Every structure is written in structure tokens, then in C-alpha cells.
Amino acid sequence: MDATNMAGPPGTSLGFDALRNAGADAVKVFNCTGWENLADPRYGNELADMFMAGGSQEAKANVRELVKAIGFSDAIDMGGDDKVHLLEAFALVWIDLAIMQKMGRGIAFKLMRR
């Protein structure tokens, strides 16, 4: 699992790339929220969602189990290795809202469906 945020130029994911280059079935996950939500993803009666991307369906199934065991509602699958950059950008959305827009770190994402 790669829970790091972008450390290189836009569009890169150095942590994910390092895992893949080592032969791991890497999954990008846990990077688009703060530690507070990892400690407690509950918001009243709602559970926050987590988001993941990676090329291995087996690895993502294992990660989904972990995400739910921690207390998140679900791990939304964003796609394969080619979608990891979306999670890098999504992390910047959370950081901007929480820090720059001063909403505070007690915010989380929830995918809503009809």
C-alpha cells in the first residue's frame, strides 16, 4: 500500500512507483484524508469513504477488507495504475479544503449514489 502524497512533479507518484518497481502489487490508498479520519472515520451515523487505485484486483480486494475493518464505509475503486495520479490530486483537494480554506481537519469525503 502507498499512503504517501505527491513528492515530485505533478502527475508523479514516487511511493507508488517505488513499490511497483520492486515488484509489489501496489495499491494507492489512505492518502486523501487526514490522520484524524484514519483514527475515526465516523461522522455521526455516517462513515467516510476511502478511495484506492491499483492494477491488482486481488490486492485491492485485500485493501478493501482493511479499509472496512478500520471503519470506513467502503474503498471506492478509482481504477488501475493509470488512475493513481487522480488520487494524488484528490489528496490536494482535501489538503486545500482542510488547511488553506480553513475548514479544519475534521472533514471527509463520501461518494453519494442514487
Q: Please report whether residue 5 resides in a domain.
A: no
Predicted confidence band of residue 49 (pLDDT cuts 50, 70, 90): very high
Cβ proximity of 93 and 100 under 8 Å: no
Residues 79-93: pLDDT tens digits?
999 999 899 889 999
Residue 84 in any domain: the answer is yes
Q: Quote the pLDDT of residue 38.
A: 96
Assess whether pLDDT exceeds 70 at residue 14: no
Write the CATH number for 62.
3.40.50.720
pTM equals 0.88
Alpha helix ranges (H) inside 32-83: 35-39, 57-70
Query: Which DSSP category does 83 fall into?
Result: G
Q: Per the domain annotation, does 111 fall within a domain?
A: no
Is residue 6 assigned to a domain?
Answer: no
Residue 61: inside a domain? yes
Residue 7 inside a domain? The answer is no
Residue 108 lies in a domain: no
- The structural domain count of the chain equals 1
Is the pLDDT at 29 greater than 90, yes or no?
Answer: yes
Strand pairing of 75-77 and 50-53? parallel
Residue 43 lies in a domain: yes
DSSP 15-41: HHHHHHHTT----EES-SS-HHHHH--
Sequence-distant (≥ 6) Cβ neighbours of residue 110 within 8 angstroms: 46, 48, 49, 73
DSSP bridge partners of 2: 28
Find all residues with CB under 8 Å of 96, minimum gap 6, and list them: none
> What domain range is 45 assigned to?
14-100
**Which pairing describes strands 42-43 and 46-47: parallel, antiparallel, or unpaired?**
antiparallel
Query: What's the whole-number mean pLDDT along residues 38-44?
Result: 97
